[in-house]
């Protein structure tokens, strides 16, 4: 777990759930400032609202935070797209000492 904490530049294995509609930039900043990873739920925010919320977090802390988006439609990537994603993630898995990801059958 230490490798993951180091990569994320956080002190605690604490991740704030991105709660679209009930989170605030102040909450995300407080979680990040305390050593966890604060998140903004962005599924219902406009692009401008996302920029404003991110700016508010950055104004409150220099610590890292996340912005969560969700996909409303079921994605249907082709095999080449899936393999390209796996290839891109493989170095991260190796850095964290995890087995390499595998393509679904």
Task: Give the residue extent of every domain in the chain.
Answer: 2-70, 73-105
Q: Give the residue with greater pLDDT, 18 vs 61.
A: 61
In terms of DSSP H, where are the helices of 62-102? 79-95
3-state secondary structure of 59: helix
- pLDDT 10s digits, 48-78: 999 999 999 999 999 999 999 887 788 788 9
- pLDDT 10s digits, 20-45: 888 999 999 999 999 999 999 998 89
3-state secondary structure of 54: helix
- pLDDT 10s digits, 76-98: 889 999 999 999 999 988 888 88
Task: Write the DSSP symbol of residue 37.
Answer: B
């Amino acid at each position: 777990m230490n490798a993951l904490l180091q990569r994320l530049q956080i002190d605690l294995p604490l991740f704030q759930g991105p709660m679209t509609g009930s989170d605030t930039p102040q909450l995300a900043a407080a979680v990040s400032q305390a050593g966890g990873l604060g998140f903004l739920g962005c599924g219902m925010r406009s692009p401008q609202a996302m920029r404003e919320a991110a700016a508010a977090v950055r104004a409150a802390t220099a610590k890292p935070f996340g912005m969560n988006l969700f996909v409303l439609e079921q994605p249907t990537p082709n095999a080449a797209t899936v393999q390209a994603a796996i290839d891109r993630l493989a170095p991260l898995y190796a850095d964290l000492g995890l087995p390499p990801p595998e393509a679904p059958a």
